[in-house]
Amino acid sequence: MKKTLFIFCILNALTSFGQDDPVIVIADADRHVDKARRSVLSPSIIDTVIPTAIVDYPLLSLQYETNSEVDKINPASIKIKEKLPQLYSTYAKVGIGSELMPLGEVFFNSKRSRKFVYGVHAKHLSSFGDIKGYSKAQFDRTNGLLYGGIKDNRYSLLGDIHYNNRGLHYYGISDTLNLHKDSISQRYSDFGIAGSYASHIKDSAKLNYKVGLAYNNFLSQKIEEDKLKRWRGQENAFGVMSSAFYKHGKETYAADFNIKYNGYKYGIQGASYNGLDSGIVLNNTVINLKPTITTFLFNNRFKANIGVNLVVDVHETTSAYVYPLAEIKYSMFNDIFIPYAGIRGGLIQNSFKSLTQENEFIRPNIELRNEKTPIDFYGGIKGTLSKRISFDANFSYANIKDKALFVTDTIQSLGNKFNVIYDTMNVAKVEASISYQLKEKIKFDGIGRYYSYSVLNNSYAWNLPQFQFILRGTYNLYDKFIFNLDLNLEEGRRALASANDIEATLENEQRITKLGFLSDLNLGVEYRYNKRISAFVEFNNLASQKYKRWYNTPVHAFQVLGGVTFRF
C-alpha cells in the first residue's frame, strides 16, 4: 500500500511540472512590518585574561673544588750543522818568478756587516826578462783600488777610486839595432773615480732606480822636454749613467739613460811633432736611451723582452741611430732545455784607454771612431743536463761598422808599433760551452768558438781568430792541494805584414802573413799549510811556445812563478 502511494506521488509531481501553461493567482492580503530601532551601544572587544601563576625557583648554593696544572715547555734550541767560516780582513800574496819577476798583492776588506762595505786592493807585477832576438821586453804593472759604500734594505750608496800605472817597451824589433830601452819605452797612467746610488724598494707598486757618475783620466808617457809635454795621448772621460724599472703584474717596464763624453788630445791641432805625425783633438759624446718591456707567460716558462735602443752620436758630425732589441726564451722540462732567440744592436764608444787595454803596443796618436752594430741576430739553446752539468749552444750573425783592427805601423815607427784602422764586416759565430761543478771539489768549463768574417776593404780581419777553444778547471784535493788549469787555443789569425817580410804572401795587393797556432797552457798548484798560510807555484806557457800575440811580437817562453800567501 505504501509503495503504491509513493509511486502515485512521484507521477503526480512529474505531471505537474510538465504543464505547459503558467497559472497566475491574484488575492488581497494584509502584511505587517515592524519599525526599525537603533542600538545605542558601540561594539567593543571583550577579552578574557587568564593570569599565569608565578613559579619561584630558589637558588642552590653549590661549591666545587677545581685543580689546574701547567705543563712545562722546554726552551727551543737551534743546532747549526756548519758554522760560518771565519773571515780575515787582510790577504797578502808575495812571490818571485823566473827572469826576475817580482809579485806583490794585498787585499783588505770589511768583514760581515749588514750595512757597511769597504776595502783596498793593490798589486804589482814586473819582469826584467828579455826575449831572445828582440829588443828589451821588460814591463811593470801597478794597480790600486779603494772602494766603499753603504748597503741598506731601502738603498745602496757605492763609490770607488782607482789608479793604474803600466810600463812597457815596444820590443817588436830586432835587437841587432841596439836601440836604447828608453827610446822604445811607453807608460800609461790611469786614474778614475766613480759613484752610484740605487734604491731597493720592495713594494712592487713603487719605482726603483739607479744613478751613477764616473770620471776617468788616461795619459800616455810624457816627453822629457817641457815644451813638448802636450805631445802625448791625453784623454778625459765623463759619464752619467741611470736606469729605472717598474713592475706591474707580469710586466716589468725598464729604461736606461746614459750620457758619455770622451775628450782625446794628442799635441796641438794642425801642428806636427816630427813632420810625420800631426796633432789630434777629438770630442765625442754619446747619448743613449734604451726603454724595454719584459713579460712572463705560461707560469713563467715563457719570457719576452722587447725594446729599442736610441743613440745620438755627437762626433765630427751628429748622427742618430735606432737599434732593435728583442729576445724570447722558453723553459722546457723544468729548465732542462731553454731555447732562445733575439735581435739586438748598439754602439760602442771606443777610447784611447779601451784600445790600449786590447793592444798596449799601439802608438799614442790614433784616430778614434765608435763601433756600430746595426743588427745582430742570435739564437741557441741552453740548460742543465743534471744538477752538476750545464750547457749552452748558440749562433749569431752580425753586421759591424767601424770595427777597430790593429796593423803594423811602418810610417811613424820602425815597425814595432801598431796603428788602428777601421773597417766594415759581417761576422758569423758558432759557439758551444759546457760546465761541470761538484760542490767545491771540482769545477771546469770549456768553450769552443768558430768565426767567419767577411771584410769590406781588407783581405782579412787582422789578428782575429777563426777558431778558439778555452778550458778552465779547478780541483780541490782534501782542501789541502788546489790545482788550477788554464788552456787557450787559437787558429786562423792573420796579420798585415811589412814590406820586408819575406815570408808574407801577396793577396789583393796586401802582404799577408799567418800568425800560426796559438797554444797557451798554464798550471797552478797551491798547498794550504793551514787556514792562514799557503804556498803556491804557477807554471806559465807549459808548451814553451813563443807564439806571436801580435805581428812580430812574441810572448815569453816557459815561466815559473812561486810564493806564499797570508791571511790575517
pLDDT tens per residue, range 303-323: 999 999 999 999 889 999 999
Alpha-carbon distance values, 555 to 130, 137, 170, 176 (Å): 10, 9, 13, 19
The helices-and-strands tally (H runs, E runs) of the chain is 2, 27
What DSSP designation does 232 have? S
Determine which helix (DSSP H) or strand (DSSP E) holds 564, and give its type and residue range.
strand 559-567
Instruction: Determine whether 363 is exposed, middle or buried from the number of CB atoms within 10 Å of its CB (0-12, 13-18, 19+).
Output: buried
Give 469-495 pLDDT, tens digit per residue. 999 999 999 999 999 999 999 999 999
Nearest to 504 by CA among 465, 462, 468: 462
Determine which helix (DSSP H) or strand (DSSP E) holds 354, and give its type and residue range.
helix 352-358
- pTM value is 0.81
Q: Return the beta strands (E) in 298-336 as ranges.
A: 302-314, 318-330
> What is the pLDDT of the chain when averaged over all its residues?
88
The region that residue 270 occupies, defined by phi over 0 for left and psi between -120 and 50 for alpha, beta otherwise, is left
Pairing of strands 494-496, 559-567: unpaired
- Are the CB atoms for 346 and 374 separated by under 8 Å? no
Cα separation, 353 vs 164, whole angstroms: 11
Structure confidence at residue 227 as a pLDDT band (50, 70, 90): low
The residue with greater pLDDT, 316 or 244, is 244
Structure confidence at residue 68 as a pLDDT band (50, 70, 90): low
Q: How large is the average pLDDT for residues 93-113? A: 92
Q: What is the pLDDT of residue 410?
A: 87
Cα separation, 561 vs 523, whole angstroms: 11
* Sign of CA pseudo-dihedral 353, 354, 359, 363: negative
Q: What is the pLDDT of residue 56?
A: 58
Cα separation, 231 vs 275, whole angstroms: 13
Structure confidence at residue 47 as a pLDDT band (50, 70, 90): low
Q: What is the pLDDT of residue 433?
A: 96
Q: What is the pLDDT of residue 496?
A: 92
Which range (6-20, 421-435, 531-545) has the least confidence? 6-20
